């Protein structure tokens, strides 16, 4: 009797998200594209355990590449050890409307946690728990020396009702490279992806039922050893929270962003760690972002060196489309020279563009002198940022040394950025079958 009621409770808890999904579907649809046969829901497997479909193998090839761990990392964690503690009904949060989502303001009901303790032999068993506060010693290294890193990924609800991740192998690879760069333990990417997929599956009703939005996935790795020496941390916590997100720059920002390009501020430099997704690359940018805002500008265009080369824009990679000296249309982005974050969207844009063959594609230096000259000669067509949060973000103007440069990104008839955005979102939202999309069930 006791056992039966326990089972019943568990069943209710595990399926609670599905009970109201038809209602939610009606309430939330904000995009006509999101309309899809209700049958997609009806056919859903009742078993909530995660299954990764056949697409997995093709997209995740690099997840299967062996990664070399430092000896002191010790034992690895495994998805098969994952434990799940579901939130009680009264702990479940109300889901926000798409319009009020913003970016990273609301969080789902559950989170993933995996501890690493050298004294306990390495990585511990992964656990999914209700979203809860972290409890940490005030001397934890993360609070003092920024021993921390993160990734940004998204889960998309496709037009077929299926939920997809986008190239998670790329995030896992970069996360391990970043971990190594700040003395945090590395891990098997495939195991983390499986855990993340399970987490998303449990909070699946938080994946917005619209193409205007998605579920942002924030894997975070922090050093928690409570000692004040500037050294690697012998304890760490890898956790992941999920946040339903709308447009990164808010609903009214579709008109293209204005940039401050001030050579007195430098984001990254040779010999530094600007090519890794460390928390430490972000704190110093806030002040500069404020300086831009004071001038009424929306984002920072990061310059480097004596010739003021463009490196990144805001927290995105930067792309330019222009007519080159041979009269050809060319897409250019700075090369991965150590100053540039190796963006997943960046890589995807380059791959897609190269596969299309419609314009030249080049990784090369872009200087402000070149931008000015191209604007003057009306050969500059588009500048846009690219990143997971926004896919692509068109640039309308650059404020450079007191001069306002108008960038005609929004005035092109068939802009490259728009073609890229449509293709990327078609892949992400399942309108196009593509090995980059990882369906989770």
Binding site for a second copy (CB under 8 A): 102-105, 107, 111, 131-139, 142-148, 150, 180-183, 216, 218, 220, 222, 226-232, 239, 241, 243, 263-266, 269-273, 278-287, 289-290, 314-315
Name the residue nearer to a second copy (CB basis): 243 or 399: 243
Name the residue nearer to a second copy (CB basis): 206 or 436: 206
368 and 383 Cβ atoms separated by less than 8 Å: no
Cα 263 off chain centre by: 28
323 and 359 Cβ atoms separated by less than 8 Å: no
Rounded CA-CA distance 205/208 in Å is 7
217 and 112 Cβ atoms separated by less than 8 Å: no
Residue with tokens 């303001």: 105
Instruction: Give 405's strand partners.
Output: 398
Number of residues that make up the chain: 441
Rounded CA-CA distance 245/25 in Å is 17
Name the residue nearer to a second copy (CB basis): 77 or 239: 239
Burial class (CB in 10 A: 0-12, 13-18, 19+), 250: exposed
Q: Which CA distances in Å does 311 have to 263, 302, 306, 419?
A: 11, 6, 13, 23
Smallest distance from a second copy to CB 162, Å? 25
Q: Which CA distances in Å does 77 have to 83, 217, 391?
A: 12, 20, 32
């Amino acid at each position: 009797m006791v056992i039966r009621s326990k089972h019943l409770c568990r069943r209710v808890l595990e399926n609670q998200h599905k009970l109201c999904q038809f209602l939610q579907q009606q309430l939330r649809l904000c995009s006509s594209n999101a309309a899809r046969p209700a049958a997609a829901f009806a056919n859903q497997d009742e078993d909530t355990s995660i299954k990764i479909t056949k697409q997995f193998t093709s997209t995740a090839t690099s997840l299967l590449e062996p990664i070399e761990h430092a000896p002191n990392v010790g034992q690895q964690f495994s998805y098969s050890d994952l434990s799940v503690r579901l939130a009680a009904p009264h702990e479940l949060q109300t889901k926000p409307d798409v319009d009020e989502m913003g970016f990273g303001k609301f969080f789902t009901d559950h989170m993933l946690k995996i501890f690493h303790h050298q004294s306990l032999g390495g990585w511990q068993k992964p656990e999914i728990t209700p979203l809860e506060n972290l409890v940490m010693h005030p001397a934890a290294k993360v609070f003092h020396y920024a021993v921390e890193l993160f990734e940004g990924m998204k889960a998309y609800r496709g037009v077929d009702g299926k939920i997809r991740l986008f190239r998670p192998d790329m995030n896992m690879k970069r996360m391990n490279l970043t971990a190594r760069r700040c003395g945090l333990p590395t891990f098997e990417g495939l195991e983390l992806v499986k855990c993340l997929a399970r987490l998303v599956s449990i909070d699946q009703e938080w994946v917005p039922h619209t193409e205007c939005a998605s579920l942002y996935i924030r894997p975070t790795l922090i050093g928690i050893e409570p000692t004040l020496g500037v050294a690697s941390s012998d304890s760490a916590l890898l956790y992941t929270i999920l946040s339903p997100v709308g447009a990164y720059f808010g609903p009214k920002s579709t008109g293209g962003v204005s940039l401050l390009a001030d050579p007195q501020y430098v984001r990254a430099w040779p010999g530094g760690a600007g090519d890794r997704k460390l928390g430490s690359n972000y704190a110093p940018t806030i002040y500069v972002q404020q300086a831009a805002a004071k001038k009424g500008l929306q984002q920072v265009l990061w310059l480097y060196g004596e010739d003021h080369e463009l490196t990144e824009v805001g927290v995105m990679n930067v792309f330019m489309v222009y007519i080159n000296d041979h009269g050809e249309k060319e897409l250019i982005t700075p090369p991965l020279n150590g100053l540039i974050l190796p963006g997943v969207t960046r890589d995807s844009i380059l791959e897609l563009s190269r596969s299309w063959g419609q314009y030249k594609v080049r990784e090369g230096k872009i200087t402000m002198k070149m931008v000015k000259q191209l604007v003057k000669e009306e050969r500059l067509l588009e500048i846009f940022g690219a990143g997971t949060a926004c896919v692509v973000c068109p640039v309308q103007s650059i404020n450079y040394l007191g001069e306002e440069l108008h960038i005609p990104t929004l005035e092109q008839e068939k802009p490259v950025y728009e073609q890229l955005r449509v293709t990327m979102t078609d892949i992400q939202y399942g309108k196009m079958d593509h090995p980059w999309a990882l369906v989770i069930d």
